[in-house]
Structure 1
Amino acid sequence: MSTGVSRRRFLGLSTAVAAGAASSFLTGCGSSTAGKGEAASAKVKLPAYVPFTGVKPDLPPNAKGLSAGFLSYPKELAQSVAKVPGDGSKVSMLTEIWVQPPLPKGSNAHWKQVSSKLGVDLSAILGTDPGYEEKFPAIVAGGDLPDLMWIPPNQGLQHIAQLLESKMADITEYVSGDAVKDYPNLANMTPAHWKTAVVNGKIWGAPSPYPALGQVYGGNPKIWAKADGFSAQSTEEFMDKCKEVTGGNTWALEPIYGNAVSVLSQCYGAPNKWGRDKSGKVTFWMESEQYLEALNFVVKLKKAGVFYPGDPKMADAYLKLAQGRIGACVYANPTGARKDTRTNDPALAAEILIPFDADGAKANAHYHAFGTIGYTAIKKGSEKRVRMMLEILNYLAAPYGTKEREFLEFGAEGSDFTYDDKGFPQRTKKGKQEVEGLWSGLATATTAPFVLAPSVFPGSHGVQDVKDMYGVEQELLRTAVQNATVGHYSDAYTEHYGRLSTEANDLVNDIVAGRRKISEWKPFWSEWGPKGLDKMKQEFQKSLEAGDA
């Protein structure tokens, strides 16, 4: 198991850089169909949710985003696909990988086996991070599109709605409502997973599920032990603890100020990127009073000297946390925090800061993540061809504990992997060369919902890590709020948001660093209203109200 996305992409997806991007960039293309699709997108019937029952987890998931938990590897693997999905034809795929590329198709025995299992001659263009945002438009411009194309929500891709309408297959009738039951592994995905694949009132692809919980502070427990643990009930207590652990060669927090404001704004009850007030009016988190309060608090933390005195874009903060130089860093989700600390120090188990109530109003709320890293669309073709592609995607979405999933992720026993002393598959040298990179690309295209398993976490404490993170997820879900605009669209977003996010984050850094005054914050948003923010909110408002009707 791997969470598989880089820190750069993770934090971009989770913070202001990609606010609203899970959906809104999809129609940011000036397409005449975009506006017409607002009401339909709000009302489209999402696929039914039918959880896979072939393997029973030790800790059950739920539709709100709680991950299934396995304390051991299933002794008997289930079969989730009854027949070979393909018809022997050639199938091409564009996707992204997050590890070293695999051996090329011609010299990769596992790749040949994947083709055989799928019943097609599979070729794949494996983009890398960074680089996918350049590769995707280049392939589109070339005109000869792959059969399957992964579309991410956070890489600024343009003209997606036009591309979908003109070149890709509308799969709504094949997966909407109970129709998805023809593809049981795809039906194992929750409605929240499918929302990012809805554009102009149509469903365009199979989702790429990802952990549903969002950004958190993860702390080095050895550092926070002197402050009675990494937790707080108020801003005053958090400040006091940060001061207490700061000293010598240790500082409480990493110096990525934008992420600090993002996580701490949860404590003040700011919207999850895009929200709606009591009257139903669309609000943007960074111009909210709650965000400003969080920014004020981060300025106070900076003046108190609790941030590591380094580059606010520092790339080695996680390593410095493991070394005891930094007490806490922002991670994309709690599992990522625990996994990373175990990677850098197997004896280190990150503590997760649960959002505390900053002002006594019980407004604290955790921000749900998007729950996917995109979806894979299918090139237009005959119904038979499109359904075959859905069968292939259904195979790729095989759940944890199935024969298909083990094969895709680890290959063939003996040559590609062996079972360790706890019964979990571990890749051999050959498996790392042939399987790992291809699996990364296939899992990016689509995969089953994320599960917590001991093998996710390096070291010998995996069972406890599963129990701990399952408990943390339960805690976070008690107050978790969604981004109100997921599944809704704004043309203005694609046109303006890149510049807005850059300028806003630069201003956050300058204010916290003391180069600019906090009194400049509100005027910045007043200036940005007519430059595009008002239009974004108007377009989201229209789409949301269409769904209300």
Structure 2
Amino acid sequence: MTVSSPIKRRTLLTLAGAGLLSGCGGGGGGRGDVSNAGKDLAPWPTHVPFPGPAPDAPGDDTGVQPLYLTYPQKLTRSVTDTVGDGSKVTAMVVTFGAPPRPVEANQLWQAVNKALNVDLDLIVVPDPEYGQKMTTLMAGTDDLPDIIMFTNLALPNALEFVQARCADLSAHLSGDAVKDYPNLANIPPYAWQGMGRVGGRIHGVPLERPKPANSLFVNRTVMDRAGIALDWNREQYIDAMKQLTGPRKWGVGWFKTLFTGLGGITYHAGSLGAPNGWAETGGAFTSTITTPQFTEALDVMSRLVAARTHFPDSLTASSTDLKAHFHNGAVASMNDGFGALNLQTLTSIGNRFELGLGRPYGAEPTPWQGPGLFGFVAFKKADDARIKLLLRVVNHLSAPFGTTEYELANYGVEGKHFTRDADGVKTLPLYDTENNSLLPIKYLGVAPSVLYLPGYPKQAQAAYDWQRAGLPKSVANPAVGLRSATEVARGAQLNQIIGDGIAAVVFGRRPLSSWPEVITQWKKAGGDRAAEELAKEKQATR
């Protein structure tokens, strides 16, 4: 294992934009045409759903996940052939926690290597350093890792890098070809489409995420004690945050992050009916930041700051630090990606409180859907035999719920990391230091997610009810998976303008009335051009 050396943390604020690959890209320079307009488009992989065990409550087309209150009594195998050939496979991934134990002292890592029949060598990079590490990798001429994980971080020249130096997987994954990798065929179409093509070709495998986007995580126990209802309007929400604030206690937990933006602007904008990133009307694209609903969201956030309900270090706190304050009960609510509703989070909270999800507070909310994936993995160019091996590795790690492969990737080795009884999986102490967050194999391949939280059926049911209440009203970003040369060239600059503007208004350094100046600056810097390019790309890929 390799862990990157510390570097200075970047503090870019980003707003959920036009999909991960377009958001990851930096363009310009004319080094490659990564748009899809005028190209022969590789067909998306054929979707072959895994039948799986019957859930306690079904999912649906709005994005509601199937609910499992108990663990399947009988598991199946999704991979019967040998995966690897005993060779070393290098992979660079992000981590949001402590580095894993080295392989010789890590029983989970050893078990994964055995199952894959490879020597998996992970280059594990802490999330504050990932942007710089990726920039250095893409600018260098050294040999690449076999597998490279991309997140939704805006990276200059990423699309050109993927097109020039990573394998074109179209022949292996387009149409029925994906059936050679059944677990990849099980990935839902929205994840592939959210990843998007590069120059008409498929260059990656998406890391699927459910449709809910950045969400409001709440301390349901303290809210119940205070008599705060599940449903609230705008003033009731603001009053609730005031009520939960006191000596060394704060109602609102915000943190500055490269991925989700300050204070979960997505939650507030979606509560008040703002479009998700962009709105498409009659083929024209309009940014959400230009809408009155978005301005209303900034006003709510400003009022929260003026009332001192927010965690005081919001402009400097890392996600790790803020989560610790939420988990120990000092902060009553925080925004995070829906994927953080997992066993690691619940284990960190322990018995302190019951975790819940906050519902939108607006009269006509438009909860924002995520792009359907956290990122994607790409492979360095190699001969067909090597590419097929790497696809088999990712296929194994993407095994669905209800399989033995999923069990290993998510819970470890029975008797060492977990045990089970009639109520389901029970994690053992070793799991706390050996899991797929600390050994981030879930960023190389991941199963389509279901709602199963072992030992926490009440929280799983509450999340299911929250999805049923909100997802039918939710909206997708129409720009997800599309290409804009301006966004890929100037995405970081455009996001910086928005992020700095949000921070200035919310924290009172500029009045709310100055927001149109931010919009004008963003438009002149390339926002208007990006809108035109997205409209053209949308038309070409219909």
TM-score between both structures, scaled by the size of structure 2: 0.85
Greater mean alpha carbon deviation, residues 257-266 or residues 383-392: 257-266
What amino acid is the match of 1:238? Y
> What's 2:91 paired with?
93
What amino acid is the match of 2:505? I
Looking at structure 2, the residues matched to 414 and 232 of structure 1 have their Cα atoms a distance apart, in angstroms, of 42
1:509 aligns with 2:527: no
Contact persistence 2:241–2:309 (CA under 8 A): yes
In the TM superposition, residue 419 of structure 1 has moved relative to its aligned partner by: 3.5
> What's 1:262 paired with?
266
Looking at structure 1, the residues matched to 342 and 109 of structure 2 have their Cα atoms a distance apart, in angstroms, of 32
Contact persistence 2:409–2:436 (CA under 8 A): no
Residues 489-538 of structure 1, C-alpha deviations (whole Å, 9 max, x = no match): 12322433323333433333332333322221102211332222222222
Contact persistence 1:69–1:466 (CA under 8 A): yes
Contact persistence 2:90–2:122 (CA under 8 A): yes
> What's 2:180 paired with?
182
Looking at structure 2, the residues matched to 144 and 310 of structure 1 have their Cα atoms a distance apart, in angstroms, of 41
In the TM superposition, residue 450 of structure 1 has moved relative to its aligned partner by: 1.8
> What's 2:7 paired with?
none
Aligned residues: 523
> What's 1:217 paired with?
216
Looking at structure 1, the residues matched to 397 and 61 of structure 2 have their Cα atoms a distance apart, in angstroms, of 21
1:294 aligns with 2:297: yes
1:328 aligns with 2:333: yes
What amino acid is the match of 1:57? P
Looking at structure 2, the residues matched to 303 and 428 of structure 1 have their Cα atoms a distance apart, in angstroms, of 43
1:275 aligns with 2:269: no
Contact persistence 2:27–2:159 (CA under 8 A): yes
Greater mean alpha carbon deviation, residues 480-489 or residues 162-171: 162-171
In the TM superposition, residue 266 of structure 1 has moved relative to its aligned partner by: 1.1
1:82 aligns with 2:80: yes
Tell me the secondary structure at the aligned position of residue 369 of structure 1: coil
Contact persistence 2:264–2:336 (CA under 8 A): no
> What's 1:386 paired with?
387
Tell me the secondary structure at the aligned position of residue 436 of structure 1: coil
Looking at structure 2, the residues matched to 74 and 451 of structure 1 have their Cα atoms a distance apart, in angstroms, of 13
> What's 1:143 paired with?
142
> What's 1:6 paired with?
none
Looking at structure 2, the residues matched to 321 and 115 of structure 1 have their Cα atoms a distance apart, in angstroms, of 35
Greater mean alpha carbon deviation, residues 256-265 or residues 534-543: 256-265
In the TM superposition, residue 246 of structure 1 has moved relative to its aligned partner by: 5.4
What amino acid is the match of 1:203? I
In the TM superposition, residue 310 of structure 1 has moved relative to its aligned partner by: 5.5
Choose the corresponding residue for 2:37, options 12, 36, 39: 39
Greater mean alpha carbon deviation, residues 203-212 or residues 500-509: 500-509
TM-score between both structures, scaled by the size of structure 1: 0.84
Tell me the secondary structure at the aligned position of residue 253 of structure 1: coil
Alignment of 1:398-547 (within 5 A): 398-419=399-420, 422-429=423-430, 435-436=434-435, 440-455=439-454, 462-547=456-541
Residues 371-405 of structure 1, C-alpha deviations (whole Å, 9 max, x = no match): 22211112223333322322221111111221122
Distance 1:252 1:56, change over 3 A: same
Residues 95-116 of structure 1, C-alpha deviations (whole Å, 9 max, x = no match): 2333433343456565454334
In the TM superposition, residue 335 of structure 1 has moved relative to its aligned partner by: 5.8
Residues 409-434 of structure 1, C-alpha deviations (whole Å, 9 max, x = no match): 444433454446744152453x666x
In the TM superposition, residue 472 of structure 1 has moved relative to its aligned partner by: 0.9
User: Where do 5+ consecutive residues of structure 2 fail to align?
Assistant: 1-10, 256-260
In the TM superposition, residue 365 of structure 1 has moved relative to its aligned partner by: 0.9
RMSD: 3.3
In the TM superposition, residue 339 of structure 1 has moved relative to its aligned partner by: 7.3
Greater mean alpha carbon deviation, residues 100-109 or residues 130-139: 100-109
Looking at structure 2, the residues matched to 522 and 29 of structure 1 have their Cα atoms a distance apart, in angstroms, of 27
Contact persistence 1:79–1:402 (CA under 8 A): yes
Residues 357-376 of structure 1, C-alpha deviations (whole Å, 9 max, x = no match): 34xxx3x1111112222111
Looking at structure 2, the residues matched to 335 and 150 of structure 1 have their Cα atoms a distance apart, in angstroms, of 19
Structure with higher helix content: 1
Contact persistence 1:78–1:401 (CA under 8 A): yes
Looking at structure 2, the residues matched to 228 and 332 of structure 1 have their Cα atoms a distance apart, in angstroms, of 26
Contact persistence 2:221–2:354 (CA under 8 A): no
Looking at structure 2, the residues matched to 28 and 524 of structure 1 have their Cα atoms a distance apart, in angstroms, of 22
Percent identity (aligned): 27
Contact persistence 1:216–1:333 (CA under 8 A): yes
